Structure formats: structure tokens, C-alpha cells
């Protein structure tokens, strides 16, 4: 019985652990080279503001009197930015493959991020979140500024002070940079990112529910603080028009203050992008292909809505400031957000495609190396699109060959014209010369007679 019990216990333990091995292992692969768009980016720096736990409807829904609790962020038709409205998140389980074995405050999975690819990134916010990015960065160019962990009190009467702390610290940071020459020179470099992680809304939502006054008032505080932040940054950089801004959220939450079940209130998050390199908001005259009713409820149906997957935002940020796309990114660049040339868009999409293909190749090789050859089945869905890829490649080859012919014959027209003009000029010159004055007619007749005799002799022989 004891042997049977031990064997049964071992089997059940193996089955239990297999759940984590199947569902909670990291999907990330390593060994891919970074890829960046070779053209000059439209922005020199980027400001990312993430309001943790903010629902899209909480930000965009109007008050009963028709006003907005977030007038600055909602006024996306101010002709300086594009309203994304919604970024679709996956089930927000707080990175389960990261936290199962080591808890929240340490990230054992090495991953690339747009912060890591930046020249410098300054972060302000939660001590639970920011260290993940600094530990995952190669080098010491990601600087984190966090408040004490004990400040994150889910039982507090109002957690908006966490967000006030972040904005106060950022303001002090730029004020000190005005008198700190070394810091100022660093800030003036390209490819810098400023990341503000705001945990107040999420904490108030968990403690008091998303319909509470604390949660809703916190949104108003964030909105006015973002307006002040933009003013501070624009003033510091002399209103050079080279700053891009991204405001979004990592997840929403249900009416009872939870998240992780996949309800639209949890997975639909707001996205507003404006500034350098960003397309302006466009008004539409025809119904948009969204049947969720949110635009009508939010009174935004007159503006073009451009939804993205949350993973796409990292690719967009990398494109705006010209850094390599994070090698672990699975995002697709949302071209409608870019205000740039078609060449820049094409180069950016090509870079995005190569970056994702690198992951596919590494993942395929890893799986092929760890699977018995007769059990390995290639991903047929990928190869079923080969015909389309061939058509694209054939088109590229055709254009390349046409380009070769074009450059090979590039000087042909010029050379042809030069030859024609040379003949015309030479003929014109010859027409001006009187040869009769210098020719002995008797000698010409004698030469002709000699030519006739030689021809007769050649024919008869």
C-alpha cells in the first residue's frame, strides 16, 4: 500500500507540475539580432504614460452634463494627434510565466523592451513594476525612480497620491536638468524615453471599485497632470516639435474591481497618441466597421477609430524614435498612426516583418532540435502563404531587374543625343568647306580609270 501510495502521489505531482510546464512557460526566444528602420525618425524623444487599471469607457464616457472628466486626453480632434480609442489586451494575468516561481518583484525571464533599445530611459512609478525593465536591460541606461513599497496600500482611502508623487518627481527632474549641465546634455540626445507608470487608478479600482468617486476623480487628476507634463516637457525642449506622446493602460477591470477573466471591461484600454510623427485625427462621414457601440456611447463616432493590439504599441514607439524593434516583440506596426512618407512606412514594415521572422526561425529551429524527426510537423499555415510570398518576391525581383536596366541604360539617351549632335555638327562643318578649289580634276579622272581596270582584272581572273 505504501508503494502504491508513493507511486500515485508521484504521478499526481508530475501531472500538477505539467500544467505549469505547458501553460506557464515563457514564450520568449533569444538569439535574434535587432533590426531598426534605416531612415531618420520623426521624433527625437518619446513620453509614455501608462495609467494602470484604466478602462477605456471610464476615460471616454461623458458626464451627464455633457462634459468630460478627462478633457485634455479626450480632445483628440485638436489636430495634433490620433485617437486610437482602444488597445486590445490579452487576458491580464500579470505575466504568470514570470511570477509562478519567484513572485512579483523579480523577473527571471530575460526579455527585450523598447526601453532597453533606447539610448536612455527614465522611469517613475511602482517599485513592483519598474525594476523588471531595469533588470532586463543590457547596460545601465534605464534609470528607475520608485516610491516606497509600503505606499501601495490597497486599503487606503485614496491612492491617487501615488500618481501625484510621479508627476511631482518628473517636474522636479526637469527643473534640476535646467541647472545640471551634464543631465541637460543627456536629455537633449535623440532616442530617449520618459516612462510614467501610474498605479493610483488601479489601486483605487481594487479598493473602491471602478464606479467609485475615488477611481473617477483619479482619472481627472491624471488628465490635468498629463496636460501639465506636456507643458513642462515642451518648455524644456524649446517647443521643437520633436516629442511624441503615448497615453494608454495595461488593462481595465470589472465593475467589482478584478481583472483576468477576459471581459471587455478588462481587455479594452484607452490609447491616445499625439506629437511628432503622429497622424492627425480625421473626421469620417461614413459608419466605421466597429459594431461594439462604444463610439456612439462616447460621442466619438465622427472621428476615425484605429484599434490596435497592445503589443503593437512597442513597435509604434520604436518606429517613432528610430530605435530597433524589441527582438521579443510580436506587435505589428499600425501604419495609420504614422505621419510620414510612404518610403518610411515601407521601410518600417519591412523591418517589422524581418524582426518577427527572426523569432519564427529561432523558435522553429529550437522545436525541430528537441523533437524526433519523424514527429516534427512544420507549421503549414505559414508555408501555405508561400505562394503569396513568391508573388511579392517576383514583383520585387521584377522591379529590381527593371532598376538594373534603368541604371545600365541611364546614360544611353545622353550619349545618343551627343552622337547625333556630333554627326550633325560634323556634317554642317563639312558643308561649309569648298573642296573643288583644292582638287585636280585630271587626277580624279585618272584614279577612277585605275579603279575600273583593277575591278575588270579581278572579275576576269
8 A C-beta contact, residue 221 and residue 160: yes
pLDDT at 445 over 70: no
pLDDT band at 440 (very low <50, low <70, confident <90, very high): low
Highest mean predicted confidence (pLDDT) among 355-359, 417-421, 457-461: 355-359
* Residue 106 confidence (pLDDT) above 60: no
Contacts of 87 (CB under 8 A, 6+ apart): 248, 249, 268, 269, 270, 271, 307, 308, 309, 310, 312, 313
pLDDT at 16 over 90: no
Bridge-based pairing of strands 192-198 and 81-83 is: unpaired
User: Pairing between strand 268-269 and 87-88?
Assistant: antiparallel
pLDDT for residue 31: 84
List for the chain the helix, strand, coil content (%; round to 5): 50, 10, 40
Instruction: Please name each of the domains of the chain with its CATH number.
Output: 17-377 (3.40.720.10), 412-460 (no CATH)
Per cent of the chain over pLDDT 70 is: 74
Q: How far apart are CA 130 and CA 416, in angstroms?
A: 67
Instruction: Render pLDDT for 375-403 as a digit per residue (tens, 0 to 9).
Output: 777 776 555 565 665 567 667 667 766 77
Place of cell 499555415: 381
Instruction: Quote the pLDDT of residue 124.
Output: 97
Q: Taking residues 421-447, report their average pLDDT.
A: 60
pLDDT of residue 252: 86
Q: Which residue has the higher pLDDT, 258 or 407?
A: 258
Average pLDDT over residues 80-99: 50
Q: How far apart are CA 150 and CA 127, in angstroms?
A: 10
Please say whether the beta carbons of 266 and 104 come within 8 A: no
Q: Which of 338, 330, 326 is nearest to 312 (CA)?
A: 330
* Region 204-229 average pLDDT: 94
- Higher-confidence residue of 371 and 142: namely 142
Q: Give the model confidence (pLDDT) of 122-153 as tens digits.
A: 999 999 888 888 776 777 899 999 998 877 76
Would you say 209 and 256 are in contact if contact means Cβ atoms under 8 Å apart?
yes
Name the pLDDT band for 170 (thresholds 50, 70, 90): very high
Q: What is the pLDDT of residue 299?
A: 79
pLDDT for 40? 95
pLDDT band at 251 (very low <50, low <70, confident <90, very high): confident
Q: Which residue has the cell 466619438?
A: 300
* Torsion over CA: 135, 138, 141, 142 (sign): negative
- Report pLDDT for 394: 67
pLDDT of 143: 94
Phi/psi of residue 159, nearest 5 degrees: -95, 5
Burial of residue 422 (CB within 10 Å: 0-12, 13-18, 19+) is exposed
Please tell me which residue, 84 or 67, carries the higher pLDDT value.
Answer: 67
Task: Find the mean pLDDT for residues 358-387.
Answer: 75
pLDDT confidence of residue 458: 42
Would you say residue 20 has pLDDT above 90? Answer: no
Q: Which of 314, 47, 324 is nearest to 187 (CA)?
A: 47
Alpha-helical regions (H) of 178-326:
181-187, 200-208, 213-236, 264-267, 294-298, 312-321
Place of cell 491617487: 160
54 three-state secondary structure: coil
Element (H, E) at 123: strand 120-125
From residue 441, give the alpha-carbon distance in Å to each of 140, 438, 451.
98, 10, 16
What mean pLDDT do residues 272-277 have? 92
Strand order in the sheet with 308-309: 268-269, 87-88, 308-309
Q: Phi then psi for 77, rounded to 5 degrees?
A: -95, 25
pLDDT at residue 314 in the model: 93
Cell numbers that stand for 371 in this block: 523533437
Point out which residues pair with 246 in neighbouring strands.
Answer: 48, 273
| pLDDT confidence tier of residue 354, bands split at 50, 70 and 90 | confident
In sequence order, the β-bridge partners of residue 45 are: 192, 243
* Backbone phi and psi for residue 217, each to the nearest 5 degrees, phi listed first: -65, -35
Least confident of 21-25, 327-331, 380-384: 380-384
pLDDT at 185 over 60: yes
The Cα–Cα gap between 159 and 215 comes to: 9
- Over the chain, what is the mean pLDDT? 80
For residues 45 and 84, give the distance between their C-alpha atoms in angstroms, rounded to a whole number.
20
By C-alpha distance, which of 259, 312, 242, 263 is closest to 84? 312
Q: Judge whether residue 279 has pLDDT over 80.
A: yes
Highest-pLDDT range among 19-28, 293-302, 327-336 = 327-336
Amino acid at each position: 500500500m505504501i508503494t502504491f501510495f508513493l507511486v500515485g502521489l508521484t504521478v499526481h505531482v508530475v501531472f500538477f507540475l505539467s500544467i505549469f510546464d505547458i501553460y506557464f512557460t515563457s514564450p520568449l526566444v533569444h538569439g535574434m539580432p535587432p533590426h531598426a528602420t534605416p531612415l531618420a525618425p520623426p521624433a527625437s524623444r518619446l513620453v509614455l504614460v501608462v495609467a494602470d487599471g484604466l478602462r477605456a469607457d471610464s476615460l471616454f464616457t461623458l458626464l451627464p452634463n455633457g462634459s468630460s472628466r478627462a478633457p485634455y486626453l479626450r480632445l483628440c480632434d485638436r489636430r495634433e494627434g490620433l485617437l486610437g480609442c482602444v488597445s486590445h489586451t490579452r487576458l491580464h494575468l500579470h505575466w504568470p510565466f514570470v511570477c509562478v516561481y519567484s513572485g512579483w518583484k523579480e523577473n527571471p525571464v530575460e526579455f527585450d523592451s523598447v526601453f532597453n533599445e533606447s539610448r536612455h530611459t527614465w522611469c517613475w512609478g511602482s517599485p513592483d513594476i519598474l525594476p523588471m525593465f531595469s533588470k532586463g536591460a543590457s547596460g545601465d541606461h534605464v534609470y528607475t525612480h520608485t516610491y516606497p513599497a509600503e505606499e501601495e496600500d490597497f486599503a487606503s482611502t485614496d491612492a491617487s497620491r501615488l500618481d501625484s508623487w510621479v508627476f511631482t518627481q518628473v517636474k522636479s527632474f526637469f527643473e534640476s536638468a535646467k541647472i545640471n549641465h551634464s543631465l541637460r546634455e543627456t536629455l537633449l540626445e535623440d532616442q530617449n524615453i520618459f516612462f510614467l507608470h501610474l498605479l493610483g487608478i488601479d489601486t483605487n479600482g481594487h479598493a473602491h471599485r471602478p464606479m467609485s468617486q475615488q477611481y473617477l476623480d483619479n482619472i481627472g487628476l491624471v488628465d490635468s497632470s498629463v496636460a501639465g507634463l506636456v507643458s513642462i516637457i515642451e518648455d524644456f525642449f524649446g517647443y521643437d516639435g520633436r516629442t511624441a506622446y503615448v497615453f494608454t493602460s495595461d488593462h481595465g477591470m470589472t465593475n467589482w474591481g478584478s481583472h483576468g477573466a477576459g471581459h471587455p471591461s478588462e481587455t479594452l484600454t484607452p490609447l491616445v497618441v499625439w506629437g511628432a510623427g503622429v497622424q492627425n485625427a480625421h473626421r469620417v462621414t461614413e459608419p466605421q466597421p466597429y459594431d461594439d457601440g462604444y463610439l456612439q456611447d462616447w460621442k466619438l463616432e465622427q472621428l476615425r477609430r484605429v484599434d490596435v493590439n497592445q503589443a503593437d504599441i512597442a513597435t509604434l514607439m520604436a518606429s517613432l524614435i528610430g530605435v530597433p524593434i524589441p527582438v521579443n516583440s510580436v506587435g505589428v506596426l499600425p501604419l495609420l498612426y504614422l505621419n510620414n512618407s510612404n518610403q518610411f512606412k515601407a521601410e518600417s514594415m519591412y523591418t517589422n516583418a524581418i524582426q518577427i521572422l527572426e523569432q519564427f526561425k529561432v523558435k522553429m529551429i529550437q522545436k525541430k532540435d528537441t523533437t524526433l524527426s519523424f514527429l516534427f510537423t512544420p507549421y503549414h499555415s505559414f508555408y501555405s502563404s508561400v505562394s503569396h510570398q513568391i508573388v511579392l518576391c517576383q514583383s520585387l525581383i521584377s522591379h529590381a531587374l527593371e532598376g538594373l536596366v534603368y541604371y545600365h541604360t541611364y546614360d544611353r539617351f545622353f550619349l545618343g543625343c551627343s552622337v547625333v549632335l556630333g554627326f550633325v555638327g560634323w556634317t554642317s562643318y563639312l558643308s561649309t568647306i569648298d573642296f573643288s578649289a583644292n582638287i585636280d580634276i585630271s587626277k580624279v579622272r585618272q584614279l577612277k580609270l585605275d579603279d575600273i581596270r583593277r575591278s575588270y582584272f579581278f572579275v576576269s581572273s
